[in-house]
A and B are shown apart, each in its own frame.
Chain A
């Protein structure tokens, strides 16, 4: 069984530029999560999708971050414009149903904002 795929693996941009990350969850998984992990900290949930609907986006900085889940499968996370403090690893995870269970994580995208 293929795992969660993410791309790109690394990205370097300058502040005020925009960037987009892509995630392909495990086939058949209804729930998809985007986390931000700053160096030395645990992952922080940005947004959670159930199929193509948003379950929780309370910690998503909506003035600059946006996310969508196309047809309830793939997802993209966008930052526009980026700030220095957005430098982090962006992790995508998926789970079979509605959460409260094991999450399977992708390798993450490491973003550096200069």
Chain B
């Protein structure tokens, strides 16, 4: 069955460092992959989208890579700030299993001042 895995353990980093979050998937051929941010008590907020034929996408301090051979995406936040503390969700839309979006469980990020 289709499976998306994100680091289940929370990631703790120091302010100013780069946070790197991982999203791995199996039994899936995504047409594209998205990253969302979710704060407690709120709905997810879209951050970045990367398509299957793209290797890397950047937006301000955010960078996403997408390796369809490894079936993995990496999400980087450079010069991290305490305000970046949140849960980050990986979501895939595919060429298999219909067109519905499948979300990972998310990784909780804590940035300490």
Interface SS, A side: loop
- Residue A49 is within 8 A (CB to CB) of chain B in the complex: no
Tell whether, in the assembled complex, residue A42 and residue B100 are in contact, meaning their CB atoms are under 8 Å apart: no
Interface SS, B side: strand
Given contacts A56-B98, A100-B93, contact A43 B44 (CB under 8 A): yes
In the complex, the chain B residue whose C-beta lies closest to that of A108 is B43
Tell whether, in the assembled complex, residue B99 and residue A42 are in contact, meaning their CB atoms are under 8 Å apart: no
B20 to chain A, nearest CB (A): 19
Q: Which of B11-43 contact A (CB under 8 A)?
A: 31-32, 34, 41-43
Number of A-B residue pairs, CB cutoff 8 Å, is: 58
**For the complex, what is the distance from the CA of A42 to the CA of B98, rounded to whole Å?**
18
State which of B53-61, B62-70, B72-80, B101-109 sits at the interface with chain A: B101-109
Tell whether, in the assembled complex, residue B100 and residue A48 are in contact, meaning their CB atoms are under 8 Å apart: yes
Interface size of A by CB at 8 A reads 28
* Contact of A103 (CB < 8 Å), options: B46, B98, B99, B105: B46
- What residues of chain A lie closer than 8 Å to B99, measured between beta carbons? 55-56, 98-100
- What residues of chain A lie closer than 8 Å to B46, measured between beta carbons? 102-104
- What residues of chain B lie closer than 8 Å to A93, measured between beta carbons? 43
Pick 22 A–B contacts, CB within 8 A, sort by A.
A40-B105, A41-B105, A42-B4, A42-B89, A42-B91, A43-B44, A44-B103, A48-B100, A56-B100, A91-B44, A93-B43, A99-B93, A100-B31, A100-B32, A100-B93, A101-B49, A102-B34, A104-B46, A105-B43, A107-B41, A107-B42, A108-B43
Chain B residues with CB under 8 Å of chain A are 4, 31-32, 34, 41-46, 49, 89, 91, 93, 98-106
